[in-house]
Amino acid sequence: MSLEIKLLDLGDIELDSSFLVIARNPGQAVRAPVFGMLILGADPMIVDTGYRNPQIMQRLGMRGIPTPEQGMEKQLAKYGLKLGDVRYLLHTHLHIDHAGTDDLFPANTTVVVNRRELEYSVSGLMGEQYPPEDIKHLVDRLHAKNGLRLLDLEISGDEEIIPGVVCQAAYAHTEGAMNVLVDTAEGRACICGDVIYDINDQLATPMWQVGEMEPAYTGNHGTTKRGEKGGMKRVMSGNRFVLPAHDRPGVLDHGQVIGRLHDSIPGPLIGALPRRKWMPV
Q: Above pLDDT 70, what percent of the chain? A: 96
Beta carbons of 113 and 153 less than 8 angstroms apart: no
Can you give the pLDDT at residue 269? 85
Point out which residues pair with 37 in neighbouring strands: 7, 47
3 state SS of 167: strand
Residue 279 has pLDDT above 50, yes or no: no
Strands 250-253 and 256-260: antiparallel
Domain boundaries, the chain: 4-276
- Number of other CB atoms surrounding residue 61 within 10 Å: 11
Give the residue, 281 or 141, on which the prediction is more confident: 141
Give the pLDDT confidence of 146-191 residue by residue, as tens digits.
999 999 999 999 999 999 999 999 999 999 999 999 999 999 999 9
For the stretch 53-62, pLDDT in tens is 999 999 999 9
CATH classification code of 4-276 = 3.60.15.10
The pTM for the full model equals: 0.95
Q: Which of 6, 12, 10, 52 is nearest to 278 (CA)?
A: 12
Helix (H) or strand (E) holding 9: strand 4-16
* Pair type for strands 159-162 and 256-260: unpaired
Give the pLDDT band of residue 230 (cuts 50, 70, 90): very high
**pLDDT at residue 42, rounded to an integer:** 84
Q: What is the CA radius of gyration of the chain?
A: 17
Give pLDDT, residue 272: 55
Which of helix, strand or coil describes residue 104?
helix
